[in-house]
Every structure is written in structure tokens, then in C-alpha cells.
Amino acid sequence: MKQRLVVIGNGMAGMRTVEELLSAAPDKYHITVFGSEPYGNYNRIMLSSVLCGEKTIEDIVINNRQWYLDQGITLHAGEAKTATHIDRKNKIVAAQDGTMAGYDRLLIATGSNAVIAQIPGNDLEGVISFRDIFDVNKMLSYSRSHKKAVVLGGGLLGLEAANGLVLRGMDVTVIHNNEVLLNRQMDKPAAKMLQTELERRGLKFNMAAKLQRLVGDELNHITGVCFDDGSQLDCDLFIMAIGVRPNMALAQQAGIYCERGIVVNDTLQSYDPSIYAVGECIQHRGDTFGLVAPLFEQAKVCANHLSAHGAAEYITLPTATKLKVTGINLFSVGDFHGDEQSESIFFTDPASGIYKKLVIKANKLVGAVLYGDTADGSWYQQLLENKESIATIRAELIFGKAYVRDFNV
């Protein structure tokens, strides 16, 4: 008799766990998946590629509904199938429309929600976030009928949204509360180069700006934004891209221990031994997650335990950043700002659009920012994870792996 696994969340983390599980223990579970979007499973981080027209929705589908059928997975997808209740005592999950599924093991992969700026007017029509296919479709429809867009947040998502909207013909201004774009992923010089490149592509920037409120018309539709200094900017579309927050409401409601996210141990198990959680909804050793690489690693570890192999432990490694804007290569990993104990190595070739910075501490690589030439990003990440001494290759390090002779990593 197969055990029952219920997965709440049909996103990248949950489904990668299922895929890993199917390959590790194909016959162990009967799997039921609840998803609030009415599709199979798609690559959310490629949404910006869809927005800018490089890919279609079909291109980014990972598993279509047929796949679920083929794998014998019961898929409950659509808004009405949003899971609304976990009955931990009876081990049953209930959806909005009353659909229920009993479990022996439950996997929560509810992801995250966009942070909504707490400013007047944030509920106006035309104010959206950039999280799913629904948002992308809305942005595409606006781009066909409207001219001006404002993106709040010069982070990865905000810049990808802004770039997509520019490519779709809109006049886009990015408002960022810092002088440095991608300030969590880039240092100032790299960010400056990025900004210059994006400006060349038609993006406008309003840096270190303080937003006061959003202004709407009589139809409650956004018409512009007001800044603290009294200046204004017209817009028809306003994208919130100032970060995400773990979506843990359901878990909290079920009494599962949460802090900033659903707290899990190194095996991705929550405080309820039957319930696992992966992805952006979790908190592991104090960290929450927003990038894809750790999610996949979590999926691997979680599947290892769900399949009762039970040996893997999840360790959070420094995560590298990439911006999905065609023709712009940037990469960062680790502590690329450095501190008093660290040493920095720079390579700059502005005319070639290249900037590199490596941060060294006690002869070990602890951080890297690459702009323009990111070919060695994964090698630096490897060096950083392996914590190997780079003393003997320091002179060539910034020029890349191909250049470091007689050094095998």
C-alpha cells in the first residue's frame, strides 16, 4: 500500500521535490498536489523572459497536466483549489472549494508573496506586483494600451520587469530607494555600469527617491506618483518589486511553528514531523530564500528524506545572483563588500563593459562581483564554497580559471 504525500504549492520548489522524489522512490507515494494557479508547473524565474518576449508561456512550462497524469499525480489546480486548511490531527488538507486530501506526509511549498509598499494609493487599479503568469499577462495587456510605467524597486525582479516593459514599448522609470541598483547583489561600480547599460536601453531611473503616495483618477486608476520632495511622475502602471515575504499563513493557521518563515531543520522538516516545507516559505537557520539555487538544493534534501533514504542535510551556501536581461551579464556571490579584515582585487575595463571585484579574507575567496564577464562566476562560487586557499593563484585569480595554470578546481 502506497503512502500518501500531499504537496501544497505547485511551484518550482514543491515540484522539484516531487521530481527528485519520483526519481529516488517512484513507487513510494501516491501524490496529490494543490496549486492556486490553473496550470501545470512552470519556471517562475523565466517570467521576465516571457514579459520581454524572448519566450512564450509554453516555453517555460516545466510539466504540463499530461505529465501529472503520466506520473499518477492528482493535481488540484486553480484559484478554487487553493489550500485553505490543514487538519494536522486527522492529517487532511482542505481547499477553498472543499476538495480534501488525506496525507501521511505533507509538503508545504507555498512560496512567497510580494511585499506591498505601505503608502497611500497602493490599492489603486494598475498597481500590481510581478509574481506569476497572471501578473505578466496584466503587464502585457497594459503595455498594449498604455504608455507610462513606474517600477518600484531596483532589485533583480524590478529591473527585469522594467526591462521587459521597455521592450514592450513602454516608457519606464525605476524608482529605487538607494543610490546603488541591485544593492544587495552589486557594489557601486558594477551597479553604475549596469545602470548606464540599462539607460542605454531606454530605462529611466529615479535613484534614492522617497515615494510619498500614489495618485489615482476618479475611476480609482493610478495616474502618477508623488515624491517626498513634491515632485511628481505620471504613470499608467505601477509595479511593486520591493521584495518578497514567505507565504506562511496556512502553516501559521495550522499551528506550525513559524518565525519569519516556516521554521525547518536541516532535513527540511517542520516542527510537525509529518510536515516538510521547502522553498521561499521556509526559514532555515535564520535564513529565508528568494533565489532558485537553494530551493533546488532543498528539494534534493527533502526528497532524500521523503524517500526514506534519510541521509542528506541541507546547508545554506552562498548563492550567486544573475540578472535575466539578455546581453547583461552580472554575477555576485558571498561577501562582496568586504570589511576591514578583507582585501579586494579589482579588474575594470569600462570600454569593454567589464568590472570584476574579488574579496579575499585570510587567503580565501569570500565574495565576488562580476559585471560584463561572468564566465568564471561558478568557478569563484566553487572556490568560495570549497574554502580553498587561493594564495598561490592570487595573481591570476581575477583573470579566470582558464588562466590559472596548474590549478585544478
Partner 1 sequence: MSKTIQTTCPYCGVGCGISAKVGQSLHQLEISGDVTHPANFGRLCSKGSALGETVELKGRLLEPTVYGQHGSWTEALDLVANSFSRIIEKYGADAVAIYGSGQLLTEDYYVANKLMKGFIGSGNMDTNSRLCMSSSVAGHKRAFGSDTVPGCYDDFEQAEMIVLIGSNAAWCHPVSFQRIRAAKEVNPALKLVVIDPRRTASCDIADLHLPLASGTDANLFNGLLQYLSKHQALDLAYIDAHTEGFADALKAAAIDLEQVAAVCGLNKDDIQRFYDWFANHKKIVSLYSQGINQSSSGTDKVNAIINCHLATGSIGKPGCGPFSLTGQPNAMGGREVGGLSHQLAAHMDFSSTDDIERVARFWNTQNIARKPGYPAVDLFDAIYDGKVKAVWIMGTNPVVSLPNANKVKLALKNCEFVVVSDCIKDTDTTALAHVLLPAQGWSEKDGTVTNSERRISRQRALFDGSGNAKPDWWIISQVARRMGFEQEFSYQSPVEIFREHARLSGFENNGTRDFDISAFADITEQDYQGLQPTQWPVNQANPQGRSRMFEDGKFFTVSGKAQFIAITPCLPVHSPDQHYPLILNTGRLRDQWHTMTRTAIAAKLNQHKAEPFVELHPVDAERYGLLANTLAGIESPWGSMIARVQLTDSQQQGSIFVPMHWTEQYASHGRMGALVNPIVDPISKQPESKHTPVRIKVYQPVYQSFILSRRELNMTMPDYWVKIKGQQHYRYELAGMSLPENWQDWAKNKLCDSQGETVQWQEYQDAAGGHYRAARFVNNQLESVIFIATKTELPERSWLTSLFAKTALEQGQRRVLLTGKPPVGVADVGTIVCACFNVGAKTIQTAIKSHGLKTHQQVGLCLKAGTNCGSCIPEIKALL
Indicate whether 362 belongs to the interface with partner 1 (CB under 8 A).
Answer: no
Q: Are 181 and 159 in contact (CB under 8 A)?
A: yes
Indicate whether 350 belongs to the interface with partner 1 (CB under 8 A).
Answer: yes
Indicate whether 312 belongs to the interface with partner 1 (CB under 8 A).
Answer: no
Indicate whether 317 belongs to the interface with partner 1 (CB under 8 A).
Answer: no
Q: Are 80 and 38 in contact (CB under 8 A)?
A: no
Q: Give the E-state strand segments of 249-363 in sequence order.
A: 262-264, 275-277, 282-284, 330-334, 343-349, 354-361
Cβ proximity to partner 1, 270 vs 332, nearer residue: 332
Distance, CA of 152 to chain centre: 17
Cβ proximity to partner 1, 106 vs 360, nearer residue: 360
Phi-psi region of 195 (alpha: psi -120 to 50; beta: other; left: phi over 0): alpha
Region of 32-40, 200-208, 262-270, 291-299 interacting with partner 1 (CB under 8 A): 291-299
Indicate whether 371 belongs to the interface with partner 1 (CB under 8 A).
Answer: no
Nearest to 225 by CA among 116, 113, 126: 126
Indicate whether 300 belongs to the interface with partner 1 (CB under 8 A).
Answer: no
Indicate whether 324 belongs to the interface with partner 1 (CB under 8 A).
Answer: yes
Which residues have CB under 8 Å from 16's CB, separation 6+?
295, 296, 299
Q: Are 315 and 278 in contact (CB under 8 A)?
A: no
With CB under 8 A as the contact rule, the residue among 159, 370, 377, 393 that binds partner 1 is 377
Four-residue CA torsion sign, 159, 161, 164, 166: negative
Cβ proximity to partner 1, 214 vs 320, nearer residue: 320
Region of 63-71, 156-164, 261-269, 370-378 interacting with partner 1 (CB under 8 A): 370-378
Least separation, in Å, of the C-beta of 331 and partner 1? Answer: 9
Binding to partner 1 by CB under 8 A, coded x per residue (else -) over 58-87, reads -x--x-------------------------
Region of 32-40, 111-119, 214-222, 372-380 interacting with partner 1 (CB under 8 A): 372-380
Q: What grid cell was written down for 269? A: 522538516
Least separation, in Å, of the C-beta of 375 and partner 1? Answer: 5
Cβ proximity to partner 1, 202 vs 400, nearer residue: 400
3-class DSSP assignment, residue 368 = strand
CA–CA separation, 355 and 398 (whole Å): 10
Cβ proximity to partner 1, 62 vs 215, nearer residue: 62
Cβ proximity to partner 1, 71 vs 84, nearer residue: 71
With CB under 8 A as the contact rule, the residue among 375, 386, 392, 409 that binds partner 1 is 375
Q: Are 239 and 156 in contact (CB under 8 A)?
A: no
Got the DSSP string for 305-329?
HHTT------------B---BTTB-
Least separation, in Å, of the C-beta of 59 and partner 1? Answer: 6
Q: Are 108 and 275 in contact (CB under 8 A)?
A: yes
Cβ proximity to partner 1, 212 vs 316, nearer residue: 316
Per rule CB under 8 A, count of chain residues that contact partner 1: 42
Nearest to 41 by CA among 68, 20, 80, 21: 68
Chain residues that interact with partner 1, rule: CB under 8 A: 43, 45-46, 49, 55, 59, 62, 292-293, 296, 320, 322, 324, 329, 343-352, 354, 360, 373-379, 394-396, 398-400, 402-403, 405
